[in-house]
Amino acid sequence: MLKFLFSLSLLTVLCQLANAQNTVLPEYPQNYFIRPLDLPPIIAGNFGEIRSNHFHSGLDLKTNQREGHPVYASADGNISRIRVQIGGGGNALYISHPNGYTTVYMHLRNFNDRISMTLKNYQYRMQKFDVDFPLLSVEIPVKKGEIIAWSGNTGSSSGPHLHFEIRDTKTEDPINPQLFGIRIPDQVKPVITGLYLYHLNGEPFSELTPKQAYPVSGVAGTYQLSPQTVVTIGGESGLGIACSDKNSASENSNGPYSIELRIDDQTIYSSVWERFSFENSRGINSHIDYPAMIATGRRIQKSFIEPGNSLKIYKNVINNGILNYTDQNIRNAQYIVKDIAGNQSVLNFKIRYNPASVKTSLIPEGKRFKFNQVNEFDSAGLKLNLPLNTLYDDLNFTYKNSPMPAGAYSLIHHVHNRLMPLNGALSLAIKADDSLPVELQSKALIVNRLKKSQGGTFVNGYVKTEIRNFDSFYIMTDTMAPRIVPVNISNGASMLNTSKILFRISDNLSGIKTFNAMINGKWVLMEYEPKTGTIWYTFDELTAKGKNDFELTVSDMKDNLTNYRAVFYR
Ligand SMILES: [Zn+2]
């Protein structure tokens, strides 16, 4: 039998949350949604924790390092979307509920029979493995507690677990599932590991902003600077904090629920992970000290807000969180970090203004890009177009190039540097060298400094693509077709004692674009797991008794094709 425990009363939950946030919360329905696993509620990841280019949008529920745990519908509703994604959420299900929320289940191993059949019919109709299938509300109704799928490790998941989300159906904004009374036992206070001071002095934040790190020490949720010292600012400054949170049952470090900065008992900044929008989740690269994360992996959350940061997680912010004092009074500052269970940790320190401690950054000469306008750059065979909302703040853009490397068809263009984050994609065009033969123009693409393909199309002498990170770029060509390695099939083989035909596929540069298999001239579904590079067909009614003709074609992004044919017997 299923046992879903809800030991907190509605009142206690609301009190705790109001306390955790200091603001009146919308009333999310309590105890409407049940946990989707019949396992102890242990999480590897929580809502709002820092991931690469986004905030984590749900709970990662642990499944004992195993796949195949039944996944239950969290409440009555209708399957509204079935998605099979190469990477990302892998096999995913969406259930819309009559109360205006949608629950989402990702990285599933497989779906229940009814959902599987519906999906398979759709994949055959589309002749495609990775599909995003919206369903009408009448097609598959589900009941709370019904098995909808089995947990897995599909998509970009690095170990078996269930990713579970609750979204506002209308806006699709993910909301912290723990606000709905889904409780993860947690009596562990957040941990504060460092305080950082940024000397801004009216300049945009960058890797060149002078920065001071203050180690902290503390016990039982009370922290102070170690050694005890007064933080001295010499002009416009910002602060940042390194912190994390654990819960009672797991060793994983998660994100806090809220961070608040108070100076002389006045809140000047707070961030709360109640909900956010996928549209601006990439703003995380402005929220954190991005150069520190790229250079050292350190996750510092800044408490000053750049003008191009459109995240909606901030509350009670004064002067964008920027400190600017002109008297020399000593001020009491306090960071308060809370988790969603109401555990809190406090870092107390003192701040003083001293004009002698001013530190200014040496900003190199470059073309000034304004964050609130379209910016263009055209020089030495490189063209850039940065649409609105690409930058978080103004930027002195720097550019260099170096000679064409062996096997390449352009100079290497050093486009600013990797420590400066971008909020969105910009278009990049690189002029191809005259040595690029006409017949290879369609095979040309752009690679970064790690020789990783960034895609690209040849247009009027340039190869054009979109990039989301500054880096070094140049043109190469991909003329090599993908590799197909048969694992358990050969021409003339008997396939009577096996349930599937299995291959390994890979590509040298541009990446796999399509894979299509035919049995006796009819398209059959190949499933693909890029983490292991395997694709397989599971025998079904499309295979005849006796002799069958099999053909597999794999293409890469530059339309190089590899074909494999075999006759097999069943
Ligand atoms: Zn997740």
CATH number, residue 396: 2.60.220.30
| CATH number of the structural domain spanning residue 39 | 2.70.70.10
Residue 88 Cα to ligand 1 midpoint, Å, equals 10
Report how far residue 10's alpha carbon sits from residue 16's, in angstroms, rounded to the nearest whole number: 10
CA–centroid distance, 154 to ligand 1, in Å, is 11
Identify whether residues 99 and 233 lie together within a single domain: no
pLDDT of residue 228: 87
CB burial class (10 A; 0-12, 13-18, 19+) of residue 249? middle
Residues 349 and 217 in one domain: yes
Q: How far away, in angstroms, is 90 Cα from ligand 1 center?
A: 11
Partners of 214 in the β-ladder: 195
Sign of the CA dihedral 274, 279, 282, 286? negative
Is residue 185 included in any domain, yes or no? no
Rounded Cα gap, residues 167 and 175, in angstroms: 6
**Residue 44 alpha carbon to ligand 1 centre in Å:** 8
Q: How far does residue 163's CA lie from ligand 1's centre (Å)?
A: 4
What residues make up the domain containing 24? 10-180
Is position 530 within any domain? yes
Instruction: Give the three-state DSSP class for 80.
Output: strand
Q: Is 310 in the same domain as 402?
A: no
Per-residue pLDDT of the chain (570 residues; tens, 9 = 90+): 333 333 334 444 444 444 444 445 678 999 999 999 999 999 999 999 999 999 999 999 999 999 999 999 999 999 999 999 999 999 999 999 999 999 999 999 999 999 999 999 999 999 999 999 999 877 899 999 999 999 999 999 999 999 999 999 999 999 999 999 999 999 999 999 999 999 999 999 999 999 999 999 998 899 999 998 999 999 999 999 999 999 888 888 999 999 999 999 999 999 999 999 999 999 999 999 999 999 999 999 999 999 999 999 999 999 999 999 999 999 999 999 999 999 999 999 999 999 888 888 777 788 999 999 999 999 989 999 999 999 999 999 999 999 999 999 999 999 999 999 999 999 999 999 999 999 999 999 999 999 999 999 999 999 999 999 999 999 999 999 999 999 999 999 999 999 999 999 999 999 999 999 999 999 999 999 999 999 999 999 889 899 999 999 999 999 999 999 999 999
Q: Which residues of 405-420 are buried (b: 16+ CB within 10 A; e: fewer)?
A: eeebbbbbbbbbebeb
Q: Rounded to the nearest whole angstrom, what is the distance from the C-alpha of residue 41 to the centroid of ligand 1? A: 15
d(CA 469, CA 418) in angstroms, rounded, equals: 7
Cβ(99)–Cβ(495) under 8 Å? no
Residues 28 and 137 in one domain: yes
The answer to whether residues 373 and 255 belong to one domain is: no
122, 156, 180 — which closes off a domain? 180
Phi, psi of 369 (to 5 degrees): -100, 130
Angstrom distances, CA of residue 512 to CA of 228, 317, 451, 535 = 56, 47, 16, 12
Closest residue by Cα to residue 413 from 456, 436, 381: 381
345 close to 258: Cβ distance less than 8 angstroms: no
